[in-house]
Amino acid sequence: MTSTAVAPAKVILFGEHFVVHGTSAVLCAIDMLVQVAVTSLEDDILQIESKVGSCKTMISNGKVTDTLGPLAYIARKISKKSGHSGGMHIIVNSHIPSGAGLGSSSACCVAATCATIGLFSECTKEDIVEIALQAERTMFVNASGADSAASAYGGVLCFNIESGFKKLRSSANLSLLVANSGIQRSTDNVVSGVGEFRANNVDRFEKLCQNESKLISKAIPAVMEGDLEKIGEYFGENQSYLEEIGVSNNTLDKMIKITDEYGYGSKITGAGGGGCIISAVPIEKQKEAIEALTDAGYVSHTVNIDHFGARMIH
Ligand code: MEV
């Protein structure tokens, strides 16, 4: 028997980095999907096929590489819970670029968890987030859970490390531009760099956290209403804070300058240092902005909110 599920990528609209130090962040799931198909097998086999690696080993105790560790965790955990004594064949087909700050590994864990639970029973979003986050933490110990929640629930979410996430009831259709610098970076390294900035600039960092919180209170209503002009203005303000803490670079600045010719404002999304920017460009200007980015050597896409989150497709 085969069960197939999809889960969306995410963008952080406001609050990356400051969220690590206690402010809230606003995220949304976007219509870039990863699909995972899981087939139950009779024999003691764990076979995984994905762009980041493949393996064929024993599900009972076979070794897998670190990158496939989260998928092996999901297969083993759910097999044990459901009393399944055979193996599993997992095929991952992702349309989310990895290492670009779009939550590809979280989305992969969320889709794999949804499909694997779906082999045996109905699954709730709570079950998906719980197991997907445990799986992700086998590789990224400090994963906050924000990305898995956005991918599992879909829509727009407000996340705080202390109070967890809250789904914001918005049905607004937001169309944003996401452009990839093509620079892969380690989130851990960029987060450590911000930690150093904070240690050397305690008062200023505190002030920036306060500014970010104020910005987020203004930004939430704009996101709920789908007010692209205001969102763009607030992206610009948020970007100035991100530049001050040192997570932008010449490439990202250049991309932001290009997109700002066509829209209302842009910012880094995710850790920075590389990865992607998001930009509030009106629909009628998106084609021109995408062409300008392509001419400069950057891949970009129009993305819309995915309101559904993880779901079974077969
Ligand atoms: C990375 O996508 C977002 C950061 O705020 C780190 C985190 O929240 O875990 C930079």
Q: What are 124-140's pLDDT values in tens digits? A: 999 999 999 999 999 88
Mutating to test ligand 1, I would choose from 20, 158, 198 the residue with most ligand atoms within 8 A of its C-beta, which is 20
269 pLDDT more than 90: yes
Mean pLDDT of 111-125: 96
143 pLDDT more than 90: no
Q: Ligand 1 pocket, 103 CB below 6 A?
A: no
Q: What are 85-101's pLDDT values in tens digits? A: 999 999 999 999 988 88
pLDDT of residue 137: 92
pLDDT of residue 62: 86
Calculate Rg over the CA atoms of the chain: 20
Q: Ligand 1 pocket, 144 CB below 6 A?
A: yes
Which residues lie below 8 Å from residue 186, measured CB to CB, with a gap of 6+?
none
18 pLDDT more than 90: yes
Token couple for 301: 């896409």
pLDDT of residue 141: 81
Cβ atoms of 255 and 171 closer than 8 Å: no
**Could you tell me which residue, 92 or 67, shows the higher pLDDT?**
92
Q: How confident is the model at residue 256 (pLDDT cuts 50, 70, 90)?
A: very high
Q: Ligand 1 pocket, 271 CB below 6 A?
A: yes
